Structure 1
Amino acid sequence: MPFVSSETRFPALNSSWYGRARDLVDDLVRKSPSRFALLVFTSLVLLFTLLFSLPIASANGAITPLHDALFTAVSVICVTGLSTVDMATHWSPFGNILVVVGVNIGGIGVLTLASIMGMVISRRLGLRAKLMAASDTNPSRIHAGPINESQAVRLGEVGSLLATVAISTLVIEAVVTAILFPRMLLDGVPLGEAAWHSIYYSAMAFTNTGFSPNVGGLDQFANDYWFLGGLMLGVFLGSLGFPVIYAFANGWLSPRRWSLHVKLTLVTTFALMFAGMLIYILLEFDNPKTFGSLNAGDTIFQSLFMSVMTRSGGFATITVSDLHGSSLLVSDMLMFIGGGSASTAGGIKVTTLAILFLAAFAEARGRAQMEAFGRRIPADILRLAVSVVLWGATTVAVSSILILQISKQPFDLVLFDVISAFATCGLSTGLTQDLPPAGVYVLAATMFMGRVGTVTLAAALAASHSRQLFRRPEERPIVG
């Protein structure tokens, strides 16, 4: 008996609005995964803007102004942590639930979320959907050329990756909650408040968002190293990226089997973490407003906490504007780099930085190829890394110029908050809350481009690669 498709047997079903919508999604996913990712994230931002605008979302029952609702929605979905309102007092219980749900949705990744949405709507995970999901771990998956299957995640493992995203989010946030909850009880926090706040803080830590439900932020826990250590654990695991977590889940005792991506991420992450700690110790040990009054042990811990949080965590035990100008500049650099690819952290990503340094070392040694851990890295990955950095630098430069013109504030403060927005870090010098509506919209666009732009740009560039059947004459311009 010849095979008859469901569309042939049930034409009415296929012509229904659901069938047409499903076909439209399939077509969009097939033609442009990056555009579908943009559509999903934009839709989420608009939905949460509407929800945050509702009277039920605010503590006083009033309608939240559009610019504040939009900024909060972008900050939540892009897991940034910047705010134009007091997050501890402005939102009602319903609004706070929206915050926790929103950061978990936004934290799983742009293309990963888009692939899940496409799978839910189309009821299947085809090759293109797998390419889109895997491209969140490595945009080169959409590359027209051959892809080595030892990269971050194999196409056949995409379903397992999506399961790992969901399971790891739940497990890690549960572990961090279990660490924070008893400590809050010991600090005298009421049972119900301790339960809710521990869940809230764990979500903010793992998603690298940095919102605090307490008035005054972390002032209450500034010297509680158990509590701060729990936050650092959540931020660190969230910033590694789901491909690294997936590699750990499938063989953390076999580092020789780890992919090059996992090794580069771990080495660069630890190098930046401890380098940042040492620099903060050297620059802030004599600053009476930050670490100057602390003993050696406290200075080391607080410097490590600051180094971890500037990589995208967003929590702070000090007033950021009290840092020396040199420390603010170091923080700018750390925020701009951010965390691991396909993580809840932002920035240009640590592997992008690693690729640039590997290229510089190869050039200094006169080698034509980049190599690391016994593997050769193709030149197109370097072009991808350069494109991501240029996108980030251009976004930061344009946004800084606009915010400077709008706010008339000092350049170092403006640059810090703009990079924090682009890198979805969430630390602020206090500038963000004082911005007029025009500046709020500019900073919201910066957050959106920082979270969505770098990933979709990388995927779009990789997908647009085409084979050229001829070569033009070579000529070398002067560089440097």
Structure 2
Amino acid sequence: MRAVGTGVEFYAVTDRVAATARRRRAVRVHPAQAVVLGFAAADLVGTGVLMLPLSSRSGEWTNLVDALFTATSAVCVTGLTVVDTATHWSAFGLVVIMLLIQLGGLGIMIFASLIGLVLARRFSVRTRLNAAAESRAIGFDDVRGVVRRIVLISLVIEAITFVFLAPRFGFGYGMDAGEAAWQGLFLAVSSFNNAGFALHTDNMIPYATDPWVCLPMCAAIILGGLGFPVFMELLRRARRPLHWSMNTKLVLWATALLLVVGSVYITALEWSNPETLGRYDPASRVLIGFFHAVQTRTAGFNSVDVGQMHDETWLGMDVLMFIGGGPAGTAGGIKVTTFAVLFFIIVTELRGEGAVNIFGKRLSRAVHRQAITVVLIALAAIMTAAIAIMVMTGLRSDAVLFEAISAFATVGLSTGVTADLPDGAELTLVVLMFLGRIGPLTLGSAIALRQRRILYEYAKERPAIG
């Protein structure tokens, strides 16, 4: 009887262990889900802190929608605001916003991995999967090195930008050492992370003609917009451009091309506009035009009133904002690689060729589907949000479309209507900012949990196209 009892007891314990294992598997978080949940958690915590009386200059509670909008804009490194950053938030609130920007720019999973590395000096398999999913790490075994390099690159570029800005604010604008250092630090973090938050009510308009302020910020924005995978490869193969990956070549070429095209486009159209570039001398007009071409890469600072620009300028900026910067960095948009892939697909189709070849390499057909999916989801999200906001507010379609693209692409440029939107429209932009920062594919895979493998195929048939 004792043996039987032992056997029964053994099987009971085995069943409990198996049940526990099944529960653990059931609640295991997919890496894509971890990225989404991490950003959502940071967003909610930031909202709660910004609502506190300690965070506002008046010492009063900030309402939920305004705090949520600001926290989302900071975590998603966007820069759109519904309250005046310079006058509404206390010093504590501004520090919280800066930390949220830094957290969102580095990436929640990267930051969590860094904490684990500092405290435990090792990565669990799950942590490495999460960090790899967010950083687009090329090698799973190199995740620890990737995390370290991402953090180091971020801090070094922000420090260099600070070294340029802080002395300029001190000696050029008569600020005391503390104020100059704070201005330089905040703008350095906001610039590299492509956030667009500034400490003046009129953003960067006071420094519109100052190259010692504008150009260091532009450099930090461009570097942040390249994406960390590009930095990783440049560090390893800086002197061997022929060995650069397709991703690095696409990002560098597309970034340079769009900066030149954007600068010429904005400067030419606004050259004689007395409300924007027309009031400045020719050299300053070129600087301001270049500055705003850089901002459309998802940074969002402005040195003239964007609301006074011509409609055709807005339309061109819509396109530039929609394209955005490099993947797995601080920039938003559909990414320059997605845009480049679609361009080469079109060229290949027009030539009647079978395979898409870029820089001497054949493009994977899976990338075709991914690029098309990203663009269509982005367009659907932007148009749905724009229509909803127009229904709620009755605003002009061009202004609403500009705000919607700016939110989805995490840019932060505004025609001036965001602060006057009702709560429903603000929440619509919150969803757009979150979707734009996480990325349609990451969010979609997080919802789907896993990719389905279908073990059969249907017969082929071709509908008429065009």
TM-score (norm 2): 0.90
Q: Distance in 2 between matches of 1:430 and 1:303?
A: 19
Among 96, 102, 105, the alignment partner of 2:103 is 105
Q: Give 1:6's aligned residue.
A: none
Q: Which residue of 2 aligns with 1:52?
A: 50
**C-alpha displacement of 1:113:** 5.0
Residue 276 (structure 1) shift = 0.7
Q: Does 1:200 align with 2:198?
A: no
Shift of 1:101: 0.6
**1:79 is paired with a residue of what secondary structure?**
coil
Q: 163-172 vs 124-133, which deviates more?
A: 124-133
Question: Is 1:355 the equivalent of 2:353?
Answer: no
Q: Which amino acid aligns with 2:39?
A: F
Which secondary structure does the structure 1 equivalent of 2:297 belong to? helix
How has the CA–CA distance of structure 1 residues 411 and 174 changed in structure 2, closer, same or farther, with 3 Å as cutoff? same
> In structure 2, what is the equivalent of residue 74 of structure 1?
72
Could you list the structure 1 runs, at least 4 aligned residues long, displaced by more than 6 angstroms after superposition. Answer: 117-123
- Determine the C-alpha separation between the residues in 1 that align with 2:308 and 2:212: 25
Q: 1:113 to 1:89 in 2, by over 3 A?
A: same
Cα deviations across residues 195-240 of structure 1 (Å, max 9, x unaligned)?
A: 0110000011001011111232212211111100011011111101
Pick aligned residue for 2:400 from 396, 401, 414: 414
Distance (whole Å) between structure 2 residues aligned to residue 118 and residue 26 of structure 1? 24
| CA positional deviation for 1:469 | 3.5
- Within 2, Cα distance between the matches of 1:156 and 1:415? 43
Partner in structure 2 of residue 173 of structure 1: 158
Alignment of 1:101-140 (within 5 A): 101-109=99-107, 112-113=110-111, 125-127=123-125, 129-138=127-136
Q: Deviations over 1:83-106 (max 9, x none)?
A: 111001111111011011110000
Shift of 1:368: 1.5
Q: Indicate conservation of the 8 Å contact 2:266/2:293, yes or no.
A: yes
Root-mean-square deviation (CA, aligned residues, Å) is 2.5
Count of residues in Structure 1 that have an aligned counterpart in Structure 2: 445
* From 421, 430, 440, the counterpart of 1:454: 440
Q: Which amino acid aligns with 1:172?
A: I
Do the aligned residues in 2 keep the contact of 1:210 with 1:426 (CA within 8 Å)?
A: yes
Alignment check: 8 A CA contact 2:403 2:415 kept: yes
Task: Verify: 1:159 aligned to 2:180, yes or no.
Answer: no
Cα distance in 2 between the residues matched to 1:279 and 1:314: 17
Q: Identity of counterpart residues, as a percentage?
A: 38
2: distance between equivalents of 1:390 and 1:210?
A: 27
**Match of 1:41, as an amino acid?**
F
CA contact (8 A) 1:81 1:424 kept: yes
Shift of 1:328: 0.2
Residue 312 of structure 1 and its aligned partner are, at CA, apart by 0.6
Question: Partner of 2:14 in structure 1?
Answer: none
Alignment of 1:314-463 (within 5 A): 314-457=300-443
Q: Give secondary structure in 2 for the equivalent of 1:346.
A: coil
Go from structure 1 to structure 2 and tell me whether the alpha carbon gap of 1:434 and 1:24 turns closer, same or farther (over 3 Å shift). farther
Counterpart of 1:283 (choices 257, 263, 269) is: 269
Q: Which moved more, 1:230-239 or 1:181-190?
A: 181-190
Measured after TM superposition, the shift of residue 124 of structure 1 is 5.2
Q: Report Cα offsets for 1:372-404 as digits up to 9, x if no partner.
A: 111111111110111111111111011101111
Give me the whole-angstrom Cα distance separating, in 2, the residues matched to 1:220 and 1:383: 45
Aligned pair 1:183/2:181, yes or no? no
Decide whether the 8 Å contact of 1:362 with 1:368 is kept in 2.
yes
Q: Provide structure 1 residue ranges, at least 5 long, that are not aligned to the other structure.
A: 1-14, 139-151
C-alpha deviations, 1:322-366, integer Å up to 9, x for none? 111000001111111111101111111110101101111111111
Deviation (angstroms), 1:424: 0.6
Q: Residue deviations 1:130-185, cap 9 Å, x none?
A: 344333344xxxxxxxxxxxxx7222222111111111111110000001011111
Residues 325, 336 of structure 2: 8 Å contact kept: yes
User: Structure 2: where are the runs of 5+ without partners?
Assistant: 1-16
Q: 1:24 to 1:55 in 2, by over 3 A?
A: farther
Matches of 1:185 and 1:254 in 2, distance apart? 41
| Structure 2 residue 217 is matched with structure 1 residue 219 | no
Which amino acid is 1:156 matched to?
D
State yes or no: 1:259 paired with 2:235: no
Larger Rg: 2
